[in-house]
Structure formats: structure tokens, C-alpha cells
Amino acid sequence: MKKNGTIAVAMTGASGAAYTIRLLEQLILAEYHVQFICSQPGQIVLAMETELKLPSSPQKMQHKLNEYFNCTHQQITVYGKDQWTAPMASGSSVAEAMVICPCSMGSLASVAQGISNNLIHRAADVIMKERKKLIIVPRETPFSSLHLENMLKLSNQGVIILPPNPAFYQGVECIQDLIDFVVSRILDQLDIPNKLSPRWGQEQD
């Protein structure tokens, strides 16, 4: 992934807000431009699971995130889920990659069926048709057979299904270690160098 490129990040109404926040932080620190979309259920989950409460207006949400991450709109741009004029709605200005983290099973099903009910689904559809990298971080277990079938369908289309299943070999001391393990794997799939979590066989400090 080229530095200073654009990566789309979407958050839907599923548990895993801490992964989203850490991912956004790391992308901004790595000097990528982030196009961010958060559904209304996603905002509710974010407020339940973290101290970050986002306003409903995309403009106010962007201002809030700029303050939270101490960045500018040139680093993170927020779009509303019904903002069809957003760049990510068209293949002519598609981001280099997209991450849906976390991804609800409703959003997973819509993407798998090619149903563009909102900008999140549309952006994912555009990423797929342009043969760009789409990473889906599904919500917590368990999964039904239908959920697994939708994941398999997307995987067969080249989509990366990355369940947030942390390992423990790296020496876990706190919850942040588990969060960093998952986010590190997302960054790996984006080809973004990171040292968030020790690698297998790596000497522990």
C-alpha cells in the first residue's frame, strides 16, 4: 500500500469499536488519508464500548474525530451513509483499499448479495468491482451457516475475511494487547508496516 494513499474505513452496528479506534489511529499515524463512514447503529455501539461519542452530523463527527486524533480533515474525512456524492461511491475515485470493522451480519449479507442500501455497501461494491482490497472484520461469534455461506461467497470473490480472533503466544498482559494483535493483522493485510504486536518467533523484550 503506497504511503499517503487513501483507505476507506467503515464501522457498522456490531461489537468491536476498540478495533476501529485503534485502526483509525494507526492509519493516521502512518500518514494515510482515511475516508470514514459510521452507521447509526455503529455510533450507538461506539458510545457503549468506548468513551468516544460521535454526533450524527458528518461534519460534526469529522470535527470530533479531528480533535480526538489531533489531526485534520486532510487525514480523515467523514461521509454520511446516505451521501451518494462521496468519492467512494464511484470507481473513478476509489480508495486503494477498504476495511469494514466491525462488520455486522446484515452488512455482510448486503455486500455478499451486491445490495447497495447505503454508502457502506456501495463503497464495498465499488472496491470489489475495481479489484481493490476489501477486508471484512465480522462481529463476534457464533456464526450461523448462512453467515458462513456469505463469508465464503465473499472470500471466493477475493475479499479478506478477518475475524477478530486474537492469539496469546505473544504474551498478553492486558486487553490492549489483544486489540493490537487484531489491528496488527488488519495492517498486515493492508501491507502497512507495524510493530503493534510481536511476531511468531520474535524475541520478547
pLDDT tens digits, 52-111? 999 989 999 999 999 999 998 789 999 999 999 999 999 998 899 999 999 999 999 999
Res. 142: pLDDT tops 80: yes
Q: pTM to 2 decimals?
A: 0.94
Look at the block and give the residue holding cell 472470500: 155
- Crossing angle for the helix pair 119-129 and 105-113, to the nearest 10 degrees: 50
For the cut 60, the answer to whether the pLDDT of residue 205 exceeds it is no
Per-residue pLDDT, 1: 63
Asked, as a colleague might, if the bond just before 142 is cis with ω within 30 of 0, I would say yes
**Domain boundaries along the sequence of the chain:** 6-189
CB-CB contact of 121 with 113 (8 Å): no
Give the rounded percent of residues in the chain with a pLDDT score beyond 70: 97
Beta partners for residue 76, in sequence order? 34
- Please answer whether residues 109 and 150 qualify as being in contact, where contact means their C-beta atoms are separated by less than 8 angstroms: yes
> Average pLDDT for residues 11-39, to the nearest whole number?
96
CATH class of 6-189: alpha beta
